[in-house]
Structure 1
């Protein structure tokens, strides 16, 4: 048995959740993938997966072995790439996770600049408004917006993102424009549920702080969906300024309560504190700080 090949196959099965998907990816037959897993289980002396007809799930021992495999294989890749020069090169795979809108507007257009600088890096950009498990999804680096609650993550501050309240002109024609934060009580406010206290909007004017409980007939865990709902005239949202920047320029939405400043949200690059920080992660963090610092 080629232990490292079997370990790589096992990691991909965990990440893809399917033997057949990994077989297609690696240009192997499904029996060959199964053989790698069976050989690994025989070598370890126990099952890695609990098998059923509906779902492939890790055993407790399998989950621990998966996390160990990530570190072992990353170190092997680093050692292989470093051999020729005697120092770690910025090369190899780099899996990045980011919120959908931020990734679309601020990361994707800049990746060519990073890859021109480090052409031997291969980036896998994953966009989701959910905070994915970095270890389980084998994510090297994630962009997180908002206050971090996970003490297992190492955070590198990048910038703060200002926010504003936005509404479509058609909505304001029907419901009027709020002139004070308290006026939001009579408006249909769309809450972004991935933020803590999403139903309590906070503003500041001078030294005065306003906390306004909001209500509405829809919430969402997707900033892209909230943008579309605002554009359709459904209600008002408290959102990052960059989310509506183009819409403001076109006149498709209006900023309201401009005399009141909502609390800005921190933007951090985060990675797992339990995994070694590779040269490519360090290089990408440095690149992000150049872009947003």
Structure 2
């Protein structure tokens, strides 16, 4: 048995979640894929995959073996590219994680230019508004907004998300225009509920800190859903400037309290600490750092 090939097939089965999908990908049959994995399990002396009629799930031993296989295959891939070119080539599969809105609005539109620079890279963009475990999800790098709680990762700050308090003209026509953050206590405020202090909005002016406990009749774990509520005139939101940049230009929303500063949030690129960072991860992080620094929608409102 070709151990390295069997490991690669095992990794692809885990990532695709299907024997038949990998068989089609490799232009072979499902029984052939099953035979390879059974031989691998026999050689290892234990089960890797708990098979059921509905889905594939890894055993505890299988999860550990999968993580090690990914590291080994990445090292082999890097060694081959290094041998062929004298240095590691930016090539191969790159699995990127992000929140849904940031990934759709800030990462996906920049991927064509990135792939023009590095045409040998294959992107798998995985979007989820929960901060999923990088190792179990098989992510090479994830872009995260906000302070990091998990110290067991390699992290690099690549940008800043500035925020603004926004409301649609339709909402402001129906309600008294708030003149200061303290007035928000009398307004319908829309909460993005994945932040730790979702109902406590913080402002600063002339060195003084102002905290406002807000309330409202709607919240969501997706920032684009909050945007739609704001545009519909439902209430006021404290949101990333990049989410509303086009709406602010077009006058579909109005920025409030521009003489106050809101707390900005860092943008980090994070990778598993126990996994070697490949040339493609480094190239992507460098590219996104430059792209975000030059993006007008990532700058504070002036």
RMSD of aligned residue pairs (Cα, Å): 1.7
- Say yes or no: does 1:167 pair with 2:186: no
Name the residue aligned to 1:37.
37
Distance 1:237 1:87, change over 3 A: same
Structure-2 separation of matches of 1:222 and 1:119: 32
- Structure 2 SS opposite 1:84: helix
Q: CA deviation at 1:131?
A: 1.6
Q: CA deviation at 1:246?
A: 0.6
- Structure 2 SS opposite 1:244: helix
**Cα deviation 1:213-250 (Å, max 9, x = unaligned):** 22222221111111111111222111011100111122
Name the residue aligned to 1:196.
196
Q: Which piece of structure 1 moves more, 78-87 or 246-255?
A: 78-87
- Structure 2 SS opposite 1:70: helix
- Say yes or no: does 1:158 pair with 2:154: no
- Structure 2 SS opposite 1:177: coil
Alignment of 1:1-293 (within 5 A): 1-293=1-293
Structure-1 separation of matches of 2:24 and 2:177: 55
1:12·1:22 contact (CA, 8 Å) conserved in 2? Answer: yes
Structure-2 separation of matches of 1:56 and 1:81: 32
**Cα deviation 1:59-97 (Å, max 9, x = unaligned):** 111111011011011111112222222321111121212
Structure-1 separation of matches of 2:277 and 2:187: 47
Q: CA deviation at 1:42?
A: 0.8
1:161·1:264 contact (CA, 8 Å) conserved in 2? Answer: yes
Q: CA deviation at 1:9?
A: 1.9
Distance 1:71 1:192, change over 3 A: same
Q: CA deviation at 1:51?
A: 2.8
- Structure 2 SS opposite 1:184: helix
- Structure 2 SS opposite 1:249: helix
- TM-score, normalised by the number of residues in structure 2: 0.91
Distance 1:234 1:273, change over 3 A: same
How many aligned positions are there?
Answer: 293
- Structure 2 SS opposite 1:135: helix
Q: CA deviation at 1:23?
A: 3.0
Structure-1 separation of matches of 2:234 and 2:33: 50
Q: CA deviation at 1:170?
A: 1.3
**Cα deviation 1:102-160 (Å, max 9, x = unaligned):** 22332223223322322222222223322222111221111110001111111111121
Q: Which piece of structure 1 moves more, 40-49 or 105-114?
A: 105-114
